[in-house]
Amino acid sequence: MNFWWFVVKLSLDFKTRSPRKEFWMFYIGNIIVFAVLLILITLFLYALKVTNYRELIAVYSAFVMIWRIALLLPTLSLQTRRFHDANKSGWLTVLFFICSFILGFVSSAFENLSSSSQNFTILTLVVIACLAIDIWLFVILGFVKGTSSSNKYRPNPLG
């Protein structure tokens, strides 16, 4: 959990580098903290005997939105530093963010389309392109080793 807090504290650092370990510890920490909070919310709702489906969805949706907004800056900052570690532009973070937003937006648009529609085909191609870009960027973030020496984004964080 120290890595998780460490990344949150560095939310405004978009200039330096971060190693893969920091990236993975932050994401694993996110999963753990999110799951614990979700369990606590569920227990709280159970104690209040909330069983209405719409109310449950509203509470969970609000929680997810608040969680994503709260971690937006630390996540963008960490992704930028990881791209810097791989000697890539931090602006790739914007591409990652845009593709993720498009995927969320397009997934809701699919509900109103028939599979024979031309718009369905276009949206499907957009989804495939965004998924391919997201996977490529995620591989860089999580699996590409940083440059072993100094690069234009500062010295190697591992020494």
What is the model's pTM? 0.85
Supply the mean pLDDT for the chain: 90
Q: How much is the pLDDT for 114?
A: 65
Check whether 4 has a pLDDT greater than 80: no
Q: Give the model's confidence band at 117: pLDDT under 50 very low, under 70 low, under 90 confident, else very high.
A: confident
Q: How much is the pLDDT for 119?
A: 77
Q: How much is the pLDDT for 77?
A: 95
The runs of H, that is alpha helices, within 48-91 are 53-70, 72-85
d(CA 147, CA 157): 10
Long-range contact pairs involving 118-127 (C-beta distance under 8 Å, separation at least 24): 126/102, 127/103
- Is 151:87 a contact under the CB 8 Å cutoff? yes
**Residue 2 neighbours by CB under 8 Å, 6+ apart:** none
Q: What angle do CA 22, 92, 94 make, to 5 degrees?
A: 100
Range 24-53 average pLDDT: 93
**Residue 11 neighbours by CB under 8 Å, 6+ apart:** 73, 74, 77
